[in-house]
Amino acid sequence: MRVYNSYVAYTVYILRTSSNTLYTGQTNNLEKRLNEHKNKTSKSSKYLRGFKSFRLAYGEVQPTLSQALKREIELKKLSHAKKELLIKSKSSV
């Protein structure tokens, strides 16, 4: 979990699956969340459970949960092509 000036930071992320689909999510602990997805725990995304593997393609830090949720919604509304442009324009976390 990232803490800046005594507050928790949130990460909005995009994962690329083994089938080249993109999954968008947000978390306050990226490492823990990726492990949940990888180990297919009850807290992992049902969508990702159907794929052999995935990798982190993109991530950005947001200072508050509210901003992270808003950004997650913005990213989810983007087309696949626009997400690809975003991924190419910035390096991942």
Residue (of 85, 89, 63) closest to 5 by Cα position: 63
pTM: 0.85
Dihedral angle at the C-alpha atoms of 48, 79, 84, 15, nearest 10 degrees? Answer: -20
Strand intervals (E) in the chain: 3-4, 7-8, 10-17, 22-27, 54-62
Residues 31-77 pLDDT 10s: 999 999 888 877 778 888 888 899 999 999 999 999 999 999 999 99
Report which of residues 93 and 85 the model is more confident about: 85
List for the chain the helix, strand, coil content (%; round to 5).
Answer: 40, 30, 35
Residue (of 3, 52, 54) closest to 24 by Cα position: 54
Domain range enclosing 19: 3-89
**Which CATH number covers residue 27?**
3.40.1440.10
For the chain, what is the domain count?
1
pLDDT score at 5: 53
